């Protein structure tokens, strides 16, 4: 079910089938969000640029075929902002997110993250960057299925060589922060989708990253859990002052973002 | 790089990824290496145990039987179709002339004459020679001529003068290899043709013959069943066979006048079984010990007798029988003239002939006796001689019959596991030497029948058989390998011939070499199979875990972290294989030890004659170093097997693997 239709149905339910009231409420909400975003955009316009992409082109090879995922994308991510990357499937938004997070290097163009050109970083340096500066959240959560929640959260700390007791305490605190303290010794299969994604967000936060990159984090959740995850992102952003970049189809997320960049056919449309 | 403990934590999760494949891998490799470990364990255990038993059997010594290699032409004249050289012919003629002159002089001195025509010619016509050749080219040497003996004797004297393989040289040479002891090894002078065992002390004079055949079957090893019956005795140092000498008992002390002898268990049953109520050898190994001990109790200190009759005496008895037959044949012949003197067969065991009728006058009798004495003095005939020899059993040796070795696998194994101190009953030398001279029967058992100057010179130079003791098998093997030829090698280019003595300790080395060779083939094959199995499994696991690897990379894992996790996992798999293999190997070896160990131990104790000890034959060899090397091989091959898929795995782009989802 498309997100917009889902939203309409939720509002219809809220106003007990009164379509006019529901539409009015939706419009009011959208106006309110637009105002807020506008205010936020103004607020972040002068903020420090932490990641900038300049004329980024990314070509994927699929067998003998070459797929141009990004065709000259330029953008800036400001410190502390909540940026939504939207667009149709195959528009290149996930690829852009992965490049911004240092998971891959652009075919051409440059990405400068925190003053360092991604192209110039060696593999180990990129890993270090992903481990300490960036926190990744995925659509399918990707927790290790045979590790308890607490151990799952500690995995990024293992790669960061964080002292065992310190990272255990940090993981415990994050579990509590995402409301899963009662589930710390559970395996992922024993948790709901929403709980797993909360845990995945907590994992992304373990090494205290400066930026959180999420690839369709609510894409695999129902509306209630999606709402909870959106709230959690906002909470993270507010309480930790963290920059959040989310790839999403979810208008709810796009609506709460400070800025929305829409990609189409590998280019920035708006 | 990720810490070891964290690597372990993450590697451990992969056990749940493909449990069936994992169990299958561990099972296949475990069985493979289990068999290998079991083989190593049992082979090394069996070899070590057999060595220990062999060492105990030979009183802590590794023995080598050594003979000087003496060219055959020095020992005897070898017949040839070619005529001897002119110089040799001249020498033989000269020796013949000397012999005749010497005997003529002796006859003259004794007041008689010497018939030189009775002396065989050293050169006789060669019937196969080309008749067109000159006369001196149509002759060959008669090896039975006194001149031929004298010539060989001369050769031996010359050889002994310059020999470099006498006892002194042997000692010097063997000591340089670490030899710790030297023993003379001599065979008793008697044999089946002159001395005969008297069952129950009775002699079968009717069937006595001057051309006897050995008792028992004629195959190799039959002596173990018939050495007493064939009077085949070997003098062996008590140092070497002391373990088989039973403790003295009252019966032994009462019968201490007999020649001490250790007989074989197999023959003891045959010749004393009925008399002393000794049953046949049981099949069950544990029962064999009880059987052997019972036999030893029953036979320790008993005596038996054998009768020695020299050929002259046997000829006399044969003549008596012929004369009796002749008289019987002419019973009704009025023209038949009976001999002047008629003798009868002995009436007592090992007794002299008896005179039945003597029609000679006193003068004739005296003249005949005088002539006979003269012939003896001239060396033309031998004086008839007979002697009852008493033996006292001081030990019973459980010798394995070598002739049955190739009849079955158990018999073969039994043949390997045995002690063997030459064929024949054994006379412990030092015990024998303690006997009073009258009880040693020295002129029968130890005299030298070859009294030529050559033989004397050879003996004086120490050119006889010796046993050399070494303290390690390696020393013995090295000495045998470097300084001796095989006994059957008539073209030997070394100074000595030699072979392992008493036990098959060198065979254990050969078996070990064989086991090492088999292991050298089996181990690489097993490692190769394990490498393929583990490599396949790891490749499968890595494919299954590509997404996880990509996620780890996304959240900050370096390539080497991924390598570390997989190496840790591989290490655990290898450890699992090692533990499974070791466990299975020890289980099999331990199981077989529990099942058969008692029987094998009992068998080995009997075979080696160490039944009084607590020595155990173990199929569990340990070989910790070798087992560790195999374990290291397993770990190494697992790491090698994983390296290719691992390199390919970490070189993958994590985005591709996440996108593939």
Half-sphere exposure of A30 (CA within 13 A, CB side): 11
Enumerate the residues of chain B whose CB falls inside 8 A of the CB of residue A159: 2, 552, 555-558, 561
ipTM of the complex: 0.84
Q: CB A156 to CB B661 under 8 A? A: no
Identify the helix (H) or strand (E) that includes residue B32: helix B19-57
- The tens digit of pLDDT for each residue in B485-533 reads 988 888 889 999 998 888 777 777 778 888 888 888 999 999 999 999 9
How far does the CA of residue B556 sit from the closest CA of chain A (Å)? 4
Residue of B nearest to A164 (CA): B6
Radius of gyration of chain A (CA): 19
Q: Is A215 in a helix, a strand, or coil?
A: strand
Nearest CA among B229, B224, B237 for reference residue B212:
B229
Label residue B74 exposed, middle or buried (CB < 10 Å: 0-12, 13-18, 19+).
middle
Closest to A147 (Cβ–Cβ): which among B13, B558, B561?
B13
Dihedral angle at the C-alpha atoms of B602, B603, B606, B610, nearest 10 degrees? -60
Identify any residues that bridge with B488 across adjacent strands, giving them in sequence order: none
pLDDT in tens, B179-195: 999 998 888 878 778 88
- B555 and A161 within 8 Å at the Cβ level: the answer is no
Per-residue pLDDT of B414-469, as tens digits, reads 666 666 776 678 999 999 999 999 899 988 888 776 678 888 898 888 898 899 99
pLDDT value, residue B116 = 83
Under the banding of pLDDT at 50, 70 and 90, the label for residue B129 is confident
Cβ contact A124–B558 (<8 Å) = yes
CB–CB of B63/B240 below 8 Å?
Answer: yes
CA pair distance B72, A68, nearest whole angstrom = 97
User: Residue A15, class by beta-carbon neighbours within 10 Å (0-12 exposed, 13-18 middle, 19+ buried)?
Assistant: middle
Contact indicator for A76, A49 with CB cutoff of 8 Å: yes
Across the interface, whether the CB atoms of A104 and B561 are under 8 A apart is answered: no
Cα–Cα distance for residue pair A140/A126, rounded to 1 Å: 23
Taking an 8 Å cut-off on Cβ atoms, the answer to whether B658 and A138 are in contact is yes
Give the residue, B413 or B290, on which the prediction is more confident. Answer: B290
- Given a contact cutoff of 8 angstroms between Cβ atoms, the answer to whether A248 and A217 are in contact is yes
Identify the pLDDT of residue B659: 67
In the prediction, which pLDDT does B394 show? 96
**Exposed e or buried b for every residue in A66-75, given b needs 16+ CB within 10 A?**
eeebbbebeb
Question: Would the pLDDT of B219 be above 50?
Answer: no
Round to whole Å and give the CA distance between A228 and A218.
9
Of the candidates B73, B641, B52, B110, which has an alpha carbon nearest to the alpha carbon of residue B374? B110
Is there a contact between B198 and B307 (Cβ–Cβ < 8 Å)?
A: yes
* Residue B16 touches chain A, beta carbons under 8 Å: yes
Residues of B in contact with A131 (CB under 8 A): 555-557
First vs last C-alpha separation in chain A: 25
Across the strands, what pairs with B467? Answer: B65, B183
Distance from CA of A200 to the nearest CA of B (A): 11
Could you give the C-alpha distances from B659 to A98, A196, A215, A264, B490, in angstroms and in order? Answer: 11, 20, 12, 19, 83
Q: Please report, for residues B269, B293, B605, the alpha-carbon distance to residue B287 in angstroms, rounded to integers and kept in the order given.
A: 15, 10, 12
Q: Do the beta carbons of residue B412 and residue B405 sit within 8 Å?
A: yes
Residues B51, B621 contacting (CB under 8 angstroms): no
- C-alpha R_g of chain B: 37
Residue A16: C-alpha distances to residues A7, A19, A20, A206, B481 (Å): 14, 9, 11, 43, 108
Please name which of B14, B29, B188 lies closest in space to residue B541, comparing C-alpha atoms: B14
Which of residues B598 and B554 earns the better pLDDT score? B554
Which residues in chain B have Cβ-Cβ distances shorter than 8 Å to A147? 9-10, 13
At B137, give phi and psi (nearest 5°): -100, 0
Check A127 against B654: CB less than 8 A apart: no
Rounded Cα distance between A89 and A94, Å, is 9
Distance of residue A14 Cα from the nearest chain B Cα, in angstroms: 37
3-state SS assignment for residue B19: helix
Q: Does B557 touch chain A (CB under 8 A)?
A: yes
Pairing of strands B466-470, B179-184: antiparallel
**Long-range contacts formed by A181-186: CB under 8 A, 24+ apart:** A183/A149, A184/A148, A184/A149, A184/A150, A185/A148, A185/A149, A185/A150, A186/A148, A186/A149
Query: Are B2 and A127 in contact (CB < 8 Å)?
Result: no
Residues of B in contact with A149 (CB under 8 A): none
What number of CA atoms fall less than 13 Å from residue B629's CA on the CB side?
Answer: 11
Q: H-helix or E-strand containing B427?
A: strand B425-428
Phi, psi (deg, nearest 5) at residue B58: -100, 30
B561 pLDDT more than 90: yes
Q: Which residue is closest to B564 within chain A, CA to CA?
A: A159
**A204: chain B residues, CB-CB within 8 Å:** 555
> Which pLDDT does position B103 carry in this prediction?
87
Contact A142 B548 (CB under 8 A): yes
pLDDT of residue B133: 87
pLDDT for res B218:
46
The answer to whether B555 contacts A151, with C-beta atoms less than 8 Å apart, is: no
Q: Given this model, what pLDDT does residue B657 score?
A: 83
SS3 B86: helix
**Strand segments (E) across A63-194:** 65-78, 82-87, 108-113, 116-117, 134-137
Q: What is the pLDDT of residue B51?
A: 84
| 8 Å CB contact of B559 and A123 | yes
Q: For B294, phi and psi rounded to 5 degrees?
A: -60, -40
Instruction: Tell me the pLDDT band of B224, cut-offs 50, 70 and 90.
Output: low
Q: At what angle do helices B559-608 and B19-57 cross, to 10 degrees?
A: 30
Contacts of B651 in chain A (CB under 8 A): none
**Continuous H helices in B545-558:** 546-554
Q: Which of B3, B556, B557, B655 to mutate to test the interface with A (most CBs of A within 10 A)?
A: B556
- Cβ contact (<8 Å) for B553 and A132? no
Q: Name the phi and psi angles at A73, rounded to 5.
A: -90, 135
**How far is A104 from chain B, CA to nearest CA, in Å?**
7
- Would you say B264 and B425 are in contact if contact means Cβ atoms under 8 Å apart? yes
In this complex, do B556 and A131 lie within 8 Å of one another by their Cβ atoms? yes
Q: Smallest Cβ distance to B3: which of A101, A155, A161?
A: A161
- pLDDT score, position B450: 67
* B555, B559, B568, B660, best to mutate vs chain A, most A CBs in 10 Å: B555
CB-CB neighbors (< 8 A) of B551 in chain A: 138, 142
Average pLDDT across chain B, whole number: 86
* Nearest-Cα residue of chain A relative to residue B5: A158
Asked if B556 lies within 8 A of A159 by C-beta distance, the reply is yes
Residues 6+ apart with CB under 8 A from B6: A158
On chain A, the residues whose CB falls within 8 A of the CB of B563 are: none
Give the integer Cα–Cα distance in Å for B606 and B417.
10
Angstrom distance (rounded) from CA B484 to CA B470: 15
Q: How confident is the model at residue B661 (pLDDT cuts 50, 70, 90)?
A: very low
The string of pLDDT tens digits covering residues A10-35 is: 767 767 777 777 777 777 767 666 66
**Contact assessment for residue B479 and residue B179, using Cβ atoms and an 8 Å cutoff:** yes
Note whether A146 contacts B16, CB cutoff 8 Å. Answer: yes
Contacting residues of A for B552, CB less than 8 Å apart: 155, 159
Predicted confidence at residue B557, as pLDDT, reads 93
Q: Are B210 and B317 in contact (CB under 8 A)?
A: yes
- Chain A residues with at least one Cβ partner in B under 8 Å: 95, 98, 101, 103-104, 123-124, 127-128, 130-132, 135-136, 138, 140, 142, 144-147, 151, 155-156, 158-161, 164, 203-204, 207
Q: Does B22 touch chain A (CB under 8 A)?
A: no
Contact check, Cβ <8 Å, A161/B551 = no
Task: List Cα–Cα distances, B556 to A11, A143, A171, B547, in angstroms.
Answer: 42, 14, 16, 14
Judged by CB atoms closer than 8 Å, whether chains meet at A127 and B557 is answered as yes
What is the mean predicted confidence (pLDDT) over B625-651? 92
> Nearest CA to CA, how far is A126 from chain B (Å)?
8
Contact A142 B547 (CB under 8 A): yes
Binary contact (B556, A147; C-beta < 8 A): no
SS (H, E, C) B453-520: HHHHHHHHCCCCCEEEEECCHHHHHHHHHHHEECCCCCCCCCCEEEEEEEECHHHHHHHHHHHHHHHH
Angle, CA A41 vertex, CA A197 and CA A23 arms, to 5°: 70
CB distance B657 to B549 below 8 Å: yes
The dihedral sign for the CA sequence B431, B437, B438, B444: positive
Which pLDDT tens digit goes with each residue over B231-243? 889 898 888 888 8
Residue of B4, B554, B568, B656 to mutate, testing the A interface (most A Cβ within 10 Å of its Cβ): B554
Q: How far apart are CA A220 and CA A140, in angstroms?
A: 7
Q: Are strands B484-485 and B496-503 parallel, antiparallel or unpaired?
A: parallel
CB atoms within 10 A of CB A34: 11
Find chain A residues with C-beta within 8 A of B548's C-beta.
142, 144
At residue B369, does pLDDT exceed 90?
A: no
Q: Under an 8 A CB cutoff, do B6 and A127 touch? A: no
Tens digit of pLDDT per residue, chain A (270 long)? 455 666 667 767 767 777 777 777 777 767 666 666 666 655 666 678 899 999 999 998 877 888 899 999 999 999 999 999 999 888 999 999 999 999 989 999 999 999 889 888 999 999 999 999 999 998 888 899 999 999 999 999 999 999 999 999 999 999 998 889 888 899 999 998 889 988 999 999 999 999 999 998 888 788 888 888 888 888 888 888 899 999 988 888 888 888 999 999 999 986
**Does the distance separating the beta carbons of B3 and A132 come in below 8 Å?**
no
């Amino acid at each position: 079910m498309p997100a917009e239709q889902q939203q309409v149905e939720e509002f219809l339910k809220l106003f007990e089938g009164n379509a006019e009231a529901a539409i009015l409420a939706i419009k009011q909400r959208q106006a309110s969000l637009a105002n807020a975003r506008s205010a936020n955009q103004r607020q972040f316009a002068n903020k420090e640029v932490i990641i900038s992409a300049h004329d980024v082109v990314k070509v994927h090879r699929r067998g003998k075929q070459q797929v141009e995922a990004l065709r000259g994308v330029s953008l800036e991510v400001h410190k502390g902002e909540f940026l939504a990357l939207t667009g149709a499937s195959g528009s290149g938004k996930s690829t852009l997110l992965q490049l911004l997070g240092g998971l891959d290097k652009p075919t051409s163009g440059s990405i400068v993250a925190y003053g360092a050109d991604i192209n110039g970083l060696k593999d180990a340096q990129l890993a270090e960057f992903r481990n300490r500066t960036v926190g990744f959240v995925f659509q399918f959560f990707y927790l290790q299925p045979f590790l308890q929640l607490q151990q799952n959260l500690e995995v990024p700390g293992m790669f960061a060589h964080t002292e065992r007791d310190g990272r255990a305490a940090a993981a415990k605190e994050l579990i509590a922060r995402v409301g899963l303290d009662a589930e710390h010794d559970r395996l992922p299969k024993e948790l709901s989708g929403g709980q797993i994604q909360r845990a995945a967000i907590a994992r992304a936060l373990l090494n205290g990253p400066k930026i959180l990159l999420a690839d369709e984090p609510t894409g695999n959740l129902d509306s209630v859990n999606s709402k909870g995850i959106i709230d959690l992102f906002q909470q993270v952003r507010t309480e930790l002052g963290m920059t959040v970049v989310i790839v999403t189809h979810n208008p709810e997320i796009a609506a709460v973002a400070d800025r929305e960049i829409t990609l189409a056919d590998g280019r920035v449309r708006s | 790089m990720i810490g070891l403990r964290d690597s372990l934590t993450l590697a451990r999760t992969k056990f749940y990824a493909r449990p069936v494949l994992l169990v299958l891998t561990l099972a296949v490799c475990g069985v493979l290496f289990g068999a290998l470990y079991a083989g190593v364990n049992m082979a090394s255990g069996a070899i070590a145990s057999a060595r220990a038993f062999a060492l105990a059997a030979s009183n802590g010594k590794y023995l080598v039987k050594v003979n000087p290699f003496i060219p055959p032409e020095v020992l005897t004249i070898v017949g040839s179709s070619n005529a001897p050289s002119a110089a040799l012919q001249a020498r033989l003629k000269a020796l013949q002339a000397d012999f005749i002159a010497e005997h003529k002089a002796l006859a003259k001195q004794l007041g008689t004459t010497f018939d030189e025509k009775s002396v065989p010619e050293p050169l006789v016509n060669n019937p196969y020679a080309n008749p067109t050749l000159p006369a001196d080219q149509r002759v060959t040497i008669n090896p039975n001529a006194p001149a031929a003996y004298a010539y060989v004797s001369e050769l031996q004297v010359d050889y002994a003068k310059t020999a470099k393989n006498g006892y002194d040289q042997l000692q010097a040479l063997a000591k340089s290899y670490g030899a710790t002891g030297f023993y003379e090894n001599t065979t008793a002078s008697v044999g089946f043709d002159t001395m005969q065992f008297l069952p129950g002390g009775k002699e079968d004079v009717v069937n006595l013959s001057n051309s006897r055949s050995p008792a028992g079957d004629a195959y190799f090893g039959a002596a173990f069943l018939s050495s007493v019956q064939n009077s085949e005795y070997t003098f062996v140092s008590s140092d070497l066979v002391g373990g088989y000498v039973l403790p003295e008992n009252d019966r032994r002390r009462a019968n201490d006048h007999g020649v001490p002898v250790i007989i074989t268990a197999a023959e003891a049953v045959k010749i004393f079984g009925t008399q002393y109520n000794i049953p046949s050898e049981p099949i069950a190994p544990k029962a064999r010990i009880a059987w052997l001990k019972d036999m030893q109790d029953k036979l320790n200190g008993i005596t038996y007798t054998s009768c020695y009759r020299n050929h002259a005496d046997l000829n006399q008895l044969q003549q008596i029988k012929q004369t009796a037959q002749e008289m019987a044949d002419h019973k009704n012949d009025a023209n038949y003239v009976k001999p002047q003197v008629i003798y009868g067969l002995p009436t007592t065991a090992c007794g002299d002939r008896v005179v039945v009728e003597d029609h000679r006058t006193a003068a004739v009798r005296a003249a005949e006796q005088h002539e006979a004495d003269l012939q003896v003095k001239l060396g033309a005939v031998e004086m008839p001689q007979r002697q009852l020899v008493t033996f006292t059993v001081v030990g019973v040796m459980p010798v394995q019959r070598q002739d049955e070795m190739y009849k079955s696998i158990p018999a073969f194994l039994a043949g390997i596991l045995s002690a063997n101190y030459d064929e024949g009953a054994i006379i412990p030398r030092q015990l024998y030497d303690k006997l009073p001279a009258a009880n040693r029967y020295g002129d029968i058992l130890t005299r030298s029948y070859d009294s030529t100057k050559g033989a004397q010179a050879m003996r004086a130079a120490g050119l006889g058989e010796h046993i050399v003791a070494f303290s390690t098998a390696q020393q013995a093997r090295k000495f045998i390998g470097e300084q001796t030829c095989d006994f059957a090698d008539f073209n030997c280019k070394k100074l000595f011939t030699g072979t392992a003595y008493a036990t098959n300790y060198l065979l254990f080395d050969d078996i070990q070499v064989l086991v090492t060779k088999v292991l050298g083939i089996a181990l690489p094959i097993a490692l190769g199979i394990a490498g393929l199995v583990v490599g396949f499994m790891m490749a499968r696991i890595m494919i299954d875990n590509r997404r996880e690897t990509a996620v780890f990379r996304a959240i900050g894992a370096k390539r080497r972290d991924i390598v570390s996790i997989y190496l840790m996992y591989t290490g655990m798999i290898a450890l699992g294989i090692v533990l499974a293999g070791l466990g299975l190997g020890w289980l099999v070896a331990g199981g077989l030890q529990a099942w058969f160990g008692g029987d094998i131990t009992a068998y080995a104790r009997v075979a080696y004659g160490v039944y009084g000890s607590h020595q155990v034959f173990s199929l569990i060899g340990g070989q910790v170093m070798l087992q560790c090397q195999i374990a290291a091989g397993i770990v190494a091959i697992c790491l090698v097997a994983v390296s290719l898929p691992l390199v390919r795995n970490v070189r993958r782009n994590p985005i591709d693997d996440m996108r593939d989802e």
